[in-house]
């Protein structure tokens, strides 16, 4: 049985970094600069069975594919959960990430809802890159 965390309980977890475990990496896809246009940043999108809300995870490490040091952003209201490493994720970079999520919110949400019937290639092609 999968443990589902209520969003209010999830918000309480935001004191520490939101490291990704095996199930997170299995269910989420990583997007690099070629998919979002932001230099050296990895963003994970896709269903995460632990949470009832749609979220993305962002690495605090440059070009990180392991997800060992992440923070979380809620897709609906762009609330940040976890700690942001401001040496890596500067205010300018965070603004680019948020703008990417705003511009692609509808497409990312559709991907979450239809992951089993939606081509990953099509999803990535539809994303609006940041400059």
pLDDT of 18 above 70? no
How far does the chain reach from its first CA to its final CA, in angstroms? 43
Q: Taking a C-beta distance cutoff of 8 angstroms, is the pair 46, 29 a contact?
A: yes
For 25-59, what is each residue's pLDDT tens digit?
Answer: 556 888 999 999 999 999 999 877 676 789 999 99
Map out the domains of the chain as residue ranges: 7-126
Averaged pLDDT, 14-27: 51
pLDDT score for 91: 96
Question: Residue 131: which pLDDT band, with cuts at 50, 70 and 90?
Answer: confident
Asked whether 47 and 115 are in contact (CB, 8 A), the reply is yes
Q: What is the dihedral of CA 53, 85, 70, 45, to 10 degrees?
A: 60
Other CB atoms within 10 Å distance of the CB of residue 37: 16
> pLDDT (tens digit, 9 = 90+) per residue, 51-99?
678 999 999 999 988 887 999 999 999 999 999 999 999 999 999 999 9
User: Where does the pLDDT of residue 10 fall: very low under 50, low under 70, confident under 90, or very high at 90 and above?
Assistant: very low
pLDDT value at 112 more than 60:
yes
Provide the pLDDT for residue 17: 46
pLDDT of residue 23: 52
């Amino acid at each position: 049985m999968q443990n589902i965390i209520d969003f209010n309980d999830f918000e309480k977890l935001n004191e520490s970094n939101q490291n990704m475990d095996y199930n997170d990496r299995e269910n989420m896809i990583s997007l690099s600069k070629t998919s979002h246009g932001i230099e050296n940043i990895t963003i994970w999108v896709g269903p995460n069975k632990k949470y009832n809300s749609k979220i993305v995870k962002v690495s605090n490490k440059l070009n990180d594919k392991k997800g060992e040091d992440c923070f979380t952003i809620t897709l609906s209201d762009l609330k940040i959960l976890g700690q942001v490493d401001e040496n890596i994720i500067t205010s300018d970079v965070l603004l680019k990430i948020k703008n990417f999520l705003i511009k692609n919110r509808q497409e990312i949400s559709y991907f979450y809802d239809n992951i089993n019937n939606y081509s990953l290639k099509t999803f990535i092609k539809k994303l609006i890159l940041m400059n």
